[in-house]
Amino acid sequence: MEIKIFGPGCARCHELEKRVRHAVDELGVAAEIEKISDLKDMAASGIMNTPGLAIDGRVKSSGRIPSLDEIKKWIRGET
């Protein structure tokens, strides 16, 4: 599984990364977590507001910090 976190490195971006890592650990899944801070890469991925989150190439959220439960659902492929 490939998870990308988009953002310039602000506190909200760090909080999203923390939640993503927590969800991955709790679910026990193998995932490659990558942080993207380049504005061109963000725009190319469809992220216009940060923080952003994409799982396996699909943008799941942009401009907000999703809850831990939301992140777990997305990792499990439920939505």
Q: Which domain holds residue 65?
A: 2-76
CA distance 60 to 52: 8
10 classed as catalytic: yes
68 is catalytic: no
- List, run by run, the mean pLDDT of 10-residue segments along the chain (79 residues): 94 96 97 95 92 96 97 92
Query: 3, 5, 13, 23: which one is catalytic?
Result: 13
pTM for this entry: 0.92
| Contact criterion met (CB below 8 Å) for 75 and 30 | no
Q: What is the CATH number of the domain that holds 14?
A: 3.40.30.10
pLDDT of 65 reads: 97
pLDDT at position 78 is 85
- Residue from 10, 29, 33, 48 carrying the catalytic annotation: 10
Count of domains for the chain: 1
